[in-house]
Amino acid sequence: MTEPILDAVRAAMVEAEVDALVLRPSPDFRFLGGQGEGFLVVTLDTAAETADPGPLVPRAARRVGVDPEMRVRELFGLTIEAELVPATAVLAPLRLRKRPHEIEAVQRAVVAAESVLGQARELAWFGATERAMASRLRRLLLETGCEEVLSLRVAAGEHTARPAHQPGGRVINPGDALLVSLCGRWNGYCAEVARVFAVAEPPEDFEAMYSVVLAARAAALRSARPAAAAESVAGAVRDVIDGSGYGRFAAAHFGRGVGLGHDEGPRVVPGDDTPLEPGMTLCLEPAIYVPDLFGARVADVVAMTAEGPVALGSGHHTLHVLDR
């Protein structure tokens, strides 16, 4: 843990009236340099990893920030009298802006996912099941050097209209729309990329709907400027989709922050007034889901700079028609 980060953490602890942080292996743990399988305890005077965090928490502590991923038995095992509060209030604002090495790690995760999506174009999809193709893509993603696959979605036909669909036994047939998304972790950092394909030929009206998703993505990039509120980006996406007539089929959210976690702040949704700042890494993900027919979602990670968002991947979105 570098001194500037530790100083910033302690300043945030003072502001939040938190006397100590107790973290288990998690994104917050890794952010503060945690390496082992135990706990990391940060006070206003010390920072140390330990198997038994209780004795390192000051006896006079009144409020202790605990990792939101801590298990119930771990919380009870602290045996301290202080009020327990989520450590997120202290650490989440500090994790919003990434340092150069963090952005580089996120970009490596993006490149890995995009390389697998490129290989996906050459695979035989006709007659395979969603589950079988998801297994193949999972293996390919791990072969890139990603240390963990956090999520992988393959949805065909009417299943592309289900935002939470998990790959199943549906057979992929010519004429299907196909939605593939990959989220892997590289050197601790996460990134998701999602692309849309057509099998042999696009379904009727699919290309028109997909063009709206791409127009919404372009609107997100235009509106994502330093000092702009995250909700203003959501508004720009929503305006495009509403204007197309697909408004009632729009996704509930259009993006979120990524980094050590695959779903961090800010969130590109109405009501999140977090100002965008250089150093933030965002997964922009406009989507339209037409029940029982098809859906389309593209997801790309960008890094905010003083001039605006910079794509961390190729940003290739031409609708690719799979020929086998």
Question: Given a cut of 60, is residue 5 above it in pLDDT?
Answer: yes
Give pLDDT, residue 312: 97
pTM of the model: 0.90
Question: Given a cut of 60, is residue 226 above it in pLDDT?
Answer: yes
Closest listed residue to residue 194, CA positions, set 293, 288, 60, 304: 288
Q: What is the mean pLDDT of the chain?
A: 95
d(CA 142, CA 190): 13
Sign of CA dihedral 76, 35, 182, 312: positive
pLDDT band at 305 (very low <50, low <70, confident <90, very high): very high
pLDDT band at 37 (very low <50, low <70, confident <90, very high): confident
Question: Given a cut of 90, is residue 34 above it in pLDDT?
Answer: no
Whether the Cβ atoms of residue 314 and residue 112 lie closer than 8 Å to each other: no
Whether the Cβ atoms of residue 280 and residue 98 lie closer than 8 Å to each other: yes
pLDDT band at 1 (very low <50, low <70, confident <90, very high): low
pLDDT band at 303 (very low <50, low <70, confident <90, very high): very high
pLDDT digits (tens, 9 = 90+) for 251-287: 999 999 999 999 998 999 999 999 999 999 999 999 9
Give pLDDT, residue 79: 82
Question: Given a cut of 60, is residue 175 above it in pLDDT?
Answer: yes
Whether the Cβ atoms of residue 86 and residue 65 lie closer than 8 Å to each other: yes
pLDDT digits (tens, 9 = 90+) for 178-209: 999 999 999 999 999 999 999 999 999 999 99
pLDDT digits (tens, 9 = 90+) for 131-165: 999 999 999 999 999 999 999 999 999 999 999 99
Bridge partner list, 153: 181
- The share of the chain scoring above pLDDT 90, in percent, equals 90
Give pLDDT, residue 2: 62
Name the residue type at position 185. R
Left if phi > 0, otherwise alpha if psi is -120 to 50, otherwise beta: which for 55?
alpha
Enumerate the H helices of the chain as residue ranges.
Answer: 3-16, 27-31, 72-76, 88-95, 100-120, 130-143, 206-223, 230-244
Q: Give every CB contact of residue 185 below 8 A, 6+ residues apart in sequence.
A: 109, 146, 147, 148, 149, 150
d(CA 148, CA 190): 9
